[in-house]
């Protein structure tokens, strides 16, 4: 059977010298199987004397059939926002801590990828968010998020005050430290820490989770994935909107944030037999006896 992936990119955690050895090892392994291997130029700086073609992420997005990301969830989040709009499937190799998005290990990555080259894998579509900042009717900033879009105050400012509408219908006014608009993928990240529910990644929903709300009646709410969530800022000051902890934009009084499902989902590949519930048991230590 013809290999479904003719060109594979290997992308490591930037500014980490620890990615050099596994990137080199995996690159040699794939090349020996007739796969064209390219590497991310920034992380490849740590690999001395490698013979792989180094490309930018933008060039990788236009070139490869598969991207293997070596790092933690933060690395995967960053790469997914860049490559997902181009339909590039992603495989994660965990070199971080929890690793909800990176389910291969450094020990089993070669064996797992050998099976994937033979077409033995599970495909999973993950919802992405698109968030636009509107000021006086004009779009002044936009970005994508894999986990969540968060409006929050700085450490020195007072509570955030904002109005929330769903598909144009008024939901509530809120005074809180912030609001998390989470994808199902992000439900095990900041949203979970703030008291939100764990959502199966196959669900087509969004979750709104207040952060330390002033009113105890304000609770997390789950809405349709096709919903447009609108936030209107009623207090200015040191307040910003954040995308997956990677991108920030400062907000002003009367700014409006429009959050919708992005048209192109992120595509993750897993080994055959992958189970989300097994991942939860392992990562959240649910398999430990009391």
State pLDDT tens for residues 258-268.
Answer: 999 999 999 99
Domain covering 7-127+265-283 assigned CATH 1.10.10.10 in the classification: no
Task: Name the nearest CA neighbour of 279 among 86, 100, 35, 61.
Answer: 100
pLDDT at 256: 97
Q: In the 8-state DSSP scheme, what is residue 147?
A: S
Q: Which residue has the tokens 């968030």?
A: 131
- How high is the pLDDT of residue 290? 58
Weakly modelled stretches of the chain, pLDDT under 50: none
Domain map (residue ranges) of the chain:
7-127+265-283, 129-261
Other residues' Cβ atoms within 10 Å of the Cβ of residue 125: 14
**Residue 2's pLDDT is what?**
62
pLDDT score recorded for residue 4: 86
73 is catalytic: yes
Check residue 289 and give its pLDDT.
Answer: 65
Identify the active-site residue in 18, 28, 73, 177.
Answer: 73
What is the predicted pLDDT for the residue at 218? 86
pLDDT per residue as tens digits for the range 229-247? 999 999 767 899 999 988 8
Homologous superfamily of 129-261: Probable inorganic polyphosphate/atp-NAD kinase; domain 2 (2.60.200.30)
Are β-strands 36-40 and 53-55 bridged in parallel, bridged antiparallel, or unpaired?
A: parallel
């Amino acid at each position: 059977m013809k290999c479904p992936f003719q060109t594979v990119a290997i992308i490591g955690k930037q500014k980490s010298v620890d990615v050099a050895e596994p990137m080199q090892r995996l690159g040699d392994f794939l090349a020996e199987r007739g796969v064209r291997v390219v590497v991310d130029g920034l992380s490849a700086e740590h690999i001395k004397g490698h013979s792989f073609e180094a490309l930018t992420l933008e060039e990788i997005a236009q070139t490869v059939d598969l991207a293997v990301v070596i790092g933690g969830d933060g690395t995967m989040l960053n790469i997914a926002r860049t490559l997902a709009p181009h339909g590039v499937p992603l495989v994660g190799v965990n070199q971080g801590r929890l690793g909800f998005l990176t389910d291969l290990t450094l020990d089993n990555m070669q064996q797992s990828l050998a099976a994937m080259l033979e077409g033995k894998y599970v495909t999973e579509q993950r919802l992405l968010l698109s968030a636009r900042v509107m000021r006086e009717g004009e779009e002044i900033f936009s970005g994508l998020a894999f986990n969540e879009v968060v409006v929050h105050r700085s450490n020195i400012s007072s509570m955030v005050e904002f109005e929330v509408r769903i598909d144009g219908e008024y939901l509530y006014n809120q005074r809180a430290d912030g609001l998390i608009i989470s994808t199902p993928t992000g439900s095990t990240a900041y949203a979970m820490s703030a008291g939100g529910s764990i959502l199966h990644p196959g669900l087509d929903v969004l979750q709104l989770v207040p952060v330390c709300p002033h009113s105890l009646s304000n609770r997390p709410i789950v809405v349709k994935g096709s919903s447009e969530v609108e936030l209107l800022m009623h207090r200015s000051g040191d307040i910003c909107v954040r995308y997956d902890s990677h991108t920030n934009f400062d907000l002003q009084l009367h700014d409006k944030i429009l959050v919708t499902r992005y048209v192109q989902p992120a595509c993750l590949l897993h080994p055959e037999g992958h189970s989300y519930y097994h991942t939860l048991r392992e990562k959240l230590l649910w398999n430990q006896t009391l």
